[in-house]
Amino acid sequence: AIQLTQSPSSLSASVGDRVTITCRASQGISSALAWYQQKPGKAPKLLIYDASSLESGVPSRFSGSGSGTDFTLTIGSLQPEDFATYYCQQFNSYPLTFGGGTTVEIK
Amino acid sequence: QVQLVQSGAEVKKPGASVKVSCKASGYTFTTYYMHWLRQAPGQGLEWMGIINPSGGSTTYAQKFQGRVTMTRDTSTSTVYMELSSLRSEDTAVYYCAREGVVGALDWFDPWGRGTLVTVSS
């Protein structure tokens, strides 16, 4: 199975900060990566697919980049509603797997 | 709009089975594959398997092979996930999630709201 390693596992940031989360795959997955946001008690919400395509309705401050084994989710200017846990997910091959998550907390 | 409505919370004893349902609406049920995932308390997300609502074919994660069964009822646009031989480690929120693109190996969108299954003696 392809392993995804996210870093950091948590971070503290302030409103307006630029935030970057990294996801590294154990083998090359081309651009077969998605990013999700999850708030407490809620289901995950798709943000980015195909590594860099923004899901409809998702604010443009969210962006994704990368291919192969190294990927990045960037939040351009952190807003109060962005404090949540973020997960990457690969869809290059079964079993579909997720990174361990990055929790973005208020500084 | 696309909606996935899951059944309510369950409490089961170790060794029992649980069957969770997910009723789809807002799109043609047989067009999109459906996934099942779970999330243990305070933990990350884990993919369990996928079902093709059209023909009923399934692919399960190796971890759950022999314990999980995914089925569907096209007359009610509902998919089911049954997990047997429950143990405490199966305590989790179980999600159904539709595939993002028809017939592709891809992402999950949208998701159901989740069903909490608690396994306790």
Mean pLDDT of chain B: 96
- Yes or no, beta carbons of A32 and B105 under 8 Å apart: yes
Residue A41 has pLDDT above 90, yes or no: yes
Q: How far is CA B21 from CA A15, B1, B39, B107, B112, in A?
A: 40, 19, 17, 21, 10
Across the A/B interface, how many CB contacts are shorter than 8 Å? 58
**Amino acid found at A100:** G
Chain center to CA of A18: 14
Residue B104 has pLDDT above 80, yes or no: no
The predicted pLDDT at position B41 comes to 97
Burial grade of B112 (CB within 10 A; 0-12, 13-18, 19 or more): buried
The minimal CB distance from B108 to the residues A46, A93, A100 is found for A46
Confidence band for B102, pLDDT divided at 50, 70 and 90 = confident
Residue B2 contacts A where some CB pair is shorter than 8 Å: no
Report d(CA B44, CA A86) in Å as an integer: 10
Confidence band for B101, pLDDT divided at 50, 70 and 90 = confident
Each residue's pLDDT tens digit, A92-102:
999 999 999 99
The predicted pLDDT at position B2 comes to 96
The minimal CB distance from B107 to the residues A91, A93, A99 is found for A91
Nearest Cα of chain A lies from the Cα of B83 at a distance, in angstroms, of 18
Each residue's pLDDT tens digit, B38-62:
999 999 999 999 999 999 999 999 9
Residue B112 has pLDDT above 80, yes or no: yes
Beta carbons within 8 Å of B76's beta carbon, 6+ residues apart: B23
Task: Report, as an integer, the average pLDDT of B82-91.
Answer: 98
The minimal CB distance from A43 to the residues B35, B46, B111 is found for B111
Strands across the sheet containing B3-6: B3-6, B18-25, B78-83, B68-73
